[in-house]
Amino acid sequence: MESTKDKREPDEPEPEGTLPELVDESSPPKQKAKPGKSSDAPETALVRPSALQLYLSKLGKYPILSPEEEHKLAVAYLEEDDREAAYQLVTSNLRLVVKIALEFQRTWMNNLLDLIQEGNIGLMQAVKKFDPYRGIRLSSYASFWIKAYILKFILDNWRLVKIGKTQAERKLFYNLYKEKERLHQLGYDPGPKLIAQRLNVKEEDVIKMDQRLGSWEVSLEKPINDDSSSRSVKDLLPGPTKPADERLGDNQLRSLIGEKLQAFRDTLEGREREIFDERLMAQKPLTLKELGDRYGITKERTRQLEARLLEKIRDHLVREIPDAEEIIPEFLTSISS
């Protein structure tokens, strides 16, 4: 249980009164039985309720707690680790999770139970961290945790490639469409510049997020045409190899560098040749410490010898290969650093 001084009081105002109970509006109201007919005889065929309907029907058995009851249970869990009290705090706020999940349904547009499940995890986390001595209702505090867990779930499952990696991107993801609709209703053209000003973000971030939200992944195995024997999208991707002429030029340049390095090696003696062979050109190079121990010198002194040798190699290649600084600039930079 975290210390109460580490918690911050949420800025959201406390909801007034109790939360409204959810009613499944999709199911028709029950008809009164007509006289002379048994009420047990159904007039229509039986329809198996969905998982969501079953879940909503179970919420009614959990009572909504009064502020006094909630405070008493929260104190019992905080000070005595009373698990039964925590259970009652969670179950009494399950309606709140459904209410918040419905607000995100327009964004998710998939199984509502997924959002409810993630929201319930956020609710349990809120009960775990709730401080009853701060003078706020659990529902006000828990709403932040519930929204955070639901939003994270949506971001993690909206695309195969994640689109909300930072806190700013997650905030923009959730508010972009809402702000667009708000500006439309006010009669404004919701351009990136105006949205960026309203949300206090960069205009380029708005453009990038709008492009991400407006595009969908395409399977690489999807056929180009309806014919199952046709090529797939993967066949249209560029190959990983370079064109033949570029590969030939790279091979020739690599061979030339190898010849010049071999000629440079023949000019070396003693420590410099050993550093060249066993440190710079070896597949499993020795460490500076291992070479220093062999020569009876410090690791720093060995590093200085290596740096001086690398500078000699660079000067040799610049002299022997015409326009080396333009042809192999990356290689020269790597051996000079």
Half-sphere exposure of 70 (CA within 13 A, CB side): 23
pLDDT in tens, 273-315: 888 888 888 888 888 888 888 889 998 998 898 889 889 988 8
In this structure, which long-range contacts are made by residues 64-67, counting pairs with CB atoms below 8 Å and at least 24 apart in sequence? 64/18, 64/19, 64/92, 64/95, 65/89, 65/92, 67/137
Name the token pair of 319: 């002299």
User: Could you give the CA distance from residue 166 to residue 155 in angstroms, rounded to a whole number?
Assistant: 11
Q: Which of 14, 181, 24 is nearest to 106 (CA)?
A: 181
Q: What is the per-residue pLDDT for 132?
A: 93
More confident residue, 331 or 271: 271
What average pLDDT score do residues 215-225 get?
56
Residue 32: pLDDT over 60: no
Confidence of residue 192 (pLDDT cuts 50, 70, 90): confident
Mean pLDDT rounded to a whole number for the chain: 76
User: Could you give the CA distance from residue 220 to residue 290 in angstroms, rounded to a whole number?
Assistant: 50
Q: What is the per-residue pLDDT for 173?
A: 67
Q: What is the per-residue pLDDT for 207?
A: 78
What average pLDDT score do residues 72-83 get?
94
User: Could you give the CA distance from residue 160 to residue 149 in angstroms, rounded to a whole number?
Assistant: 19
Name the token pair of 21: 């109970």
Q: What is the per-residue pLDDT for 216?
A: 46
pTM summary value: 0.43
Name the token pair of 37: 């007919």
